[in-house]
A and B are shown apart, each in its own frame.
Chain A
Amino acid sequence: MRLSRRTRLAGVALIAAGSLTLAACGGGSDSDGGSASSDAIISVYGTNPQNPLIPTATNEVGGGDPLDNLFSGLVAYNTDGSVTNEVAESIEGNEDSTVWTVKLKDGQKFTDGSDVTSDSFVKAWNYGANPANKQLNNYFFYPIKGTDDVGNTEKGADTVSGLKVVDDKTFTITLKESESDFPLRLGYSAYFPVPDVAYDESGKITKEYGDAPIGNGPYKLTKSGWEKNKQISLEPNPDYTGVHKPKNGGLVFKFYNSTDAAYTDVQSGNLDVLDQVPPSALTTFESDSGVKAYNEPGSSFSSFTIPERLAHFGNDEEGKLRRAAISMAINRPEITEKIFNNARTPASDFTSPVLDGWTDEVPGNEVLTFNAEEAKAKWAEADKIDKWSGKFELAYNNDGAGNKEFSEAMANQIKNTLGIDAAPKAYPTFDELRTVVTDRSIKTPFRTGWQADYPSMLNYLGPIYATGAGSNDGDYSNKDFDKLIQQAAAAKGDDRYKLITEAQTLLLTDLPAIPLWYQNATAVTTTDLKDFVFNWKQKPDYYALTK
């Protein structure tokens, strides 16, 4: 998952809506509610949803967070990113993992009293995949047979041929290709069920439903529900039987325009939870007596990409020397300490330290350590091949918290170490930066980042650096790397990790992207808020919050 426009949106981009509702350790649904505070209503930071609250239409966090609490999918995500069956009784694949049979639990109901059936899923997915419905999340359906490479139904058909209803409680999913961890996907919001009442006579999901969705999740909308540009209020769903049983009396997503304003509200007790810390408060939030601070290693990875098509940075000896020189000219610990106040951790590879199999001893990672002499020497060596001229610019999006500060500091370090003209280059918004990156018109190196869809090191490598991969922004291609990744996907245990390390060593020589740091998960809450836990996506477990 590509890092998105703001840290607030971290974990949004690909599975935008899918910032999960999560179970805390071990399916703790046995809330016998002893504490008197279980009816406390918790106010949490949010932004006004930009799309109707329809699972297949919501692709950003403002709508995604409420949606994840209003609906339950076939599986639910635990705090560590693993999955537990939620609405599904079982999800079983055939031998080659191409056909999956889903059986639903009995007695699952939407909050309007109607049953959750196979149809609730299949109809919603068909709806999402049908291009006529213009659903932004249709690409979630691309693994399923009968969709094109974006996820639309093939040739504009009404239904996806790979989805078959067997009976009320059973349906099958046929995939285009074998995918052994397919069920891992099924907790994302695009795969949520939708009740019949949502559709009008012509089969379209109504606007009214998009404003006040009826779900099957841990929460339901209160009477006031979604008050546009103000807040969304949720109350516990009494009929909910899943693993995320609310431990509080309700959630209110209060909409803010800036995290600065939200931070001030936490300080003054007007907001309970802000799941990210604005840069202006990074140096002070841990010592701020007015708030409770959280700061933990996180799952998102920051880098910047130097496309091979840029002059002097081609896939040759000169390009490699220059990339290494740039990488060694950056003093990562200095930036993470002085700019981010240790809310980032310097990177020693291309993945994330919260993952199984991660090691800080990938051979070749000394190229990620600041070394002015070595950097200058490599740069001079490259100059012998072809003399450097021009300006080294670093593109970043200015609407992302802290981007401006670190880009400037990094440009200064490169300038100071190598003696070349280096400067940061601002794009006002994430969208604008991504547009020029995607259409390949950008003429400078640019900031990149990644948060994986599920906790696997491979998910940090394949989608970004494999030849022709969807997020291969720098058009990197290395056959050996591709082969290692394929082998690793098939391998298990230590063998797998060894292959991944080998692949990473290749990346460290080629440096298609220059690793910078791992982003910590930071948050502040009011001092009386309890049971705050970050899940694997650096989001709080909303259902578990208490006061």
Chain B
Amino acid sequence: MSETRPGQERFVAPLDETPLRAIDAVDVDAVPESQWREAWKRLRRSPLFWLSSVIILVLAVMVAFPGLFTDVDPYARNANNLSNQFAPPSEGHPFGYNFQGGDIWARTVYGARASVAVGVLATIATVLLGMISGAVAGFYGGITDTLVSRLSDIFFSIPLLLACIVVISVINNIFPNRGFWGSVSVVVLALAVFAWPQITRQMRGAVLEVKNLEFVDAATAIGASKLTNLRRHIVPNALSPVIVSATIMLGVFIVSESALSFLGLGLPQNIVSWGNDLSDAQTLVRSGQHLVVMWVPATALAVTVLGFVLLGEAVREALDPKARKS
């Protein structure tokens, strides 16, 4: 036992015998990666994530291979036959038939494609537009902020539904003949062009909030550049409210498509979609008969929205640095 003097760390092992250095080492370039890797680790432990993944996976298969779920092709000859109007469920037709004599289940299965396409594409477009513009505006401030904010004000100040009605009715008049993707992209375009400012505002607000937080100041103090700050600290921190909004938005868009169909401006009616089927079902609601025609696509819609919102929730919890601390 050797002599100890004041200041000497008697019980500490020599530095090279411990892994401390590796732990303390700051690998500057690897930060984002490890953050996402850690998020993935947390995701894997989340039951919400698995539930939503199952829903979305089933939905994806339904979108890609509807034939796996039903033998009836609603686009085929004789798929809609008035002699089957409101016929009860039978072998291979688990929910029976609708007003036009179409198989309710088959239409719901095939309708996933249009509804999901509108929802997903419009959300992607909106989020991309909104995040970029919002991050830039919030972070740089000044004239950039003013420009982006005023532009987003202009678009956001025009109510979404009204704007969509105008846009779609105009496009319908100019390009009356469009196929599946043509019709989908018109609805997507109308929704995205007037919905992006919602994300912009949120992103900008979140960026403003995060920008003043201590750790960003700290990062600036130790010499991180503005852009690095934006990319590494602000965007990930601002991401969670956007993800939550985006998942909600996805549902809203799918529902909007049906609202536009209700007004006669959604997807053309020869495209099988939940929006069209729900719009058709509305007349039955009043009389309270054959409500199964409404419930099947409505449930599909609800479950789809549920899937995306749950996913958003799980991803947010995994990503959120604040949630990580608890």
User: Taking beta carbons and an 8 Å cutoff, which residues of A are in contact with B?
Assistant: 260, 279-281, 283-284, 331, 334-335, 338-339, 398-399, 404-405, 408-409, 411-413, 415-416, 419, 423-428, 432
- B265 & A260 in contact (Cβ 8 Å cutoff): no
Given the complex, which residues of B lie within 8 Å of A409, measured CB to CB?
A: 80, 82, 100
C-alpha gap A399/B265 in the complex (Å): 11
- B82 & A412 in contact (Cβ 8 Å cutoff): yes
- A426 & B286 in contact (Cβ 8 Å cutoff): no
**Contact A334:B264 (CB < 8 A) given known A279-B283, A423-B270:** no
- Rounded to whole Å, the gap between the CB of A428 and the closest CB of chain B is 5
A-side interface mostly: helix
**Contact A399:B287 (CB < 8 A) given known A331-B82, A419-B77, A424-B270:** no
- B289 & A283 in contact (Cβ 8 Å cutoff): yes
- Interface residues on chain B, number (Cβ under 8 Å): 27
Q: Which among A280, A405, A426 has the greatest number of chain B C-beta atoms within 10 A? A: A426
- B81 & A338 in contact (Cβ 8 Å cutoff): no
**Contact A424:B80 (CB < 8 A) given known A283-B289, A408-B100, A412-B100:** no
B53 at the interface (CB under 8 A from A): no
Q: Which of A283, A398, A428 contacts B287 (CB 8 A)?
A: A283
C-alpha gap A296/B283 in the complex (Å): 23
Q: Which among B78, B283, B287 has the greatest number of chain A C-beta atoms within 10 A? A: B283
Give me the 10 closest cross-chain CB pairs, A-B, nearest first.
Answer: A398-B264, A280-B283, A423-B270, A412-B80, A284-B287, A280-B286, A416-B78, A338-B82, A338-B85, A334-B82
23 contacts between A and B (CB under 8 A): A280-B283, A280-B284, A280-B285, A280-B286, A280-B287, A281-B286, A281-B287, A284-B286, A284-B287, A284-B289, A331-B82, A334-B82, A338-B85, A398-B264, A405-B99, A408-B269, A419-B77, A423-B270, A424-B270, A425-B268, A426-B264, A428-B169, A428-B172
| CB within 8 Å of A: which B252-306 residues | 264-265, 268-270, 280, 282-287, 289
Given the complex, which residues of A lie within 8 Å of B286, measured CB to CB?
A: 260, 280-281, 284
C-alpha gap A408/B85 in the complex (Å): 13
C-alpha gap A415/B77 in the complex (Å): 6
- A280 & B269 in contact (Cβ 8 Å cutoff): no
- A426 & B269 in contact (Cβ 8 Å cutoff): yes
- Rounded to whole Å, the gap between the CB of A276 and the closest CB of chain B is 15
- Rounded to whole Å, the gap between the CB of A399 and the closest CB of chain B is 7
C-alpha gap A283/B264 in the complex (Å): 22
- A428 & B264 in contact (Cβ 8 Å cutoff): yes
C-alpha gap A405/B172 in the complex (Å): 20
- Rounded to whole Å, the gap between the CB of B8 and the closest CB of chain A is 87
Q: Which residue of A lies closest to B266 (CB)?
A: A426
User: Taking beta carbons and an 8 Å cutoff, which residues of B are in contact with A?
Assistant: 77-78, 80-83, 85, 99-101, 169, 172-173, 176, 264-265, 268-270, 280, 282-287, 289
- Rounded to whole Å, the gap between the CB of A363 and the closest CB of chain B is 29
Given the complex, which residues of B lie within 8 Å of A280, measured CB to CB?
A: 282-287
- B77 & A334 in contact (Cβ 8 Å cutoff): no
Given the complex, which residues of A lie within 8 Å of B265, measured CB to CB?
A: 428
C-alpha gap A217/B100 in the complex (Å): 47
Given the complex, which residues of A lie within 8 Å of B270, measured CB to CB?
A: 411, 423-424
C-alpha gap A428/B176 in the complex (Å): 11
Q: Which residue of A lies closest to B263 (CB)?
A: A428
Given the complex, which residues of B lie within 8 Å of A398, measured CB to CB?
A: 264
- B77 & A404 in contact (Cβ 8 Å cutoff): no
- A432 & B173 in contact (Cβ 8 Å cutoff): yes
Given the complex, which residues of B lie within 8 Å of A279, measured CB to CB?
A: 283
Q: Which among A331, A334, A339, A408 has the greatest number of chain B C-beta atoms within 10 A? A: A408
C-alpha gap A416/B269 in the complex (Å): 17
C-alpha gap A432/B168 in the complex (Å): 14
C-alpha gap A334/B85 in the complex (Å): 10
- Rounded to whole Å, the gap between the CB of B180 and the closest CB of chain A is 12
- B81 & A404 in contact (Cβ 8 Å cutoff): no
- Rounded to whole Å, the gap between the CB of A537 and the closest CB of chain B is 26
Given the complex, which residues of B lie within 8 Å of A412, measured CB to CB?
A: 80-82, 100-101
Q: Which among B101, B169, B172, B269 has the greatest number of chain A C-beta atoms within 10 A? A: B269
- Rounded to whole Å, the gap between the CB of B175 and the closest CB of chain A is 13
Given the complex, which residues of A lie within 8 Å of B289, measured CB to CB?
A: 283-284
Q: Which residue of B lies closest to A287 (CB)?
A: B287
Q: Which among A398, A412, A424 has the greatest number of chain B C-beta atoms within 10 A? A: A412
Given the complex, which residues of B lie within 8 Å of A428, measured CB to CB?
A: 169, 172, 264-265
Given the complex, which residues of A lie within 8 Å of B283, measured CB to CB?
A: 279-280
Given the complex, which residues of B lie within 8 Å of A404, measured CB to CB?
A: 264, 269
Given the complex, which residues of A lie within 8 Å of B173, measured CB to CB?
A: 432
Q: Which residue of A lies closest to B176 (CB)?
A: A425
C-alpha gap A413/B169 in the complex (Å): 28
C-alpha gap A411/B289 in the complex (Å): 25
- B81 & A416 in contact (Cβ 8 Å cutoff): yes
Given the complex, which residues of A lie within 8 Å of B269, measured CB to CB?
A: 404, 408, 423-424, 426
C-alpha gap A413/B83 in the complex (Å): 10
- B268 & A426 in contact (Cβ 8 Å cutoff): yes
C-alpha gap A432/B173 in the complex (Å): 8
Given the complex, which residues of A lie within 8 Å of B82, measured CB to CB?
A: 331, 334-335, 338-339, 409, 412-413
- B85 & A416 in contact (Cβ 8 Å cutoff): no
- B264 & A399 in contact (Cβ 8 Å cutoff): yes
C-alpha gap A184/B185 in the complex (Å): 54
C-alpha gap A495/B204 in the complex (Å): 82
Given the complex, which residues of B lie within 8 Å of A338, measured CB to CB?
A: 82, 85
C-alpha gap A434/B83 in the complex (Å): 33
- Rounded to whole Å, the gap between the CB of A442 and the closest CB of chain B is 9
- Rounded to whole Å, the gap between the CB of B62 and the closest CB of chain A is 23
C-alpha gap A464/B135 in the complex (Å): 62
C-alpha gap A481/B74 in the complex (Å): 43
C-alpha gap A334/B268 in the complex (Å): 24
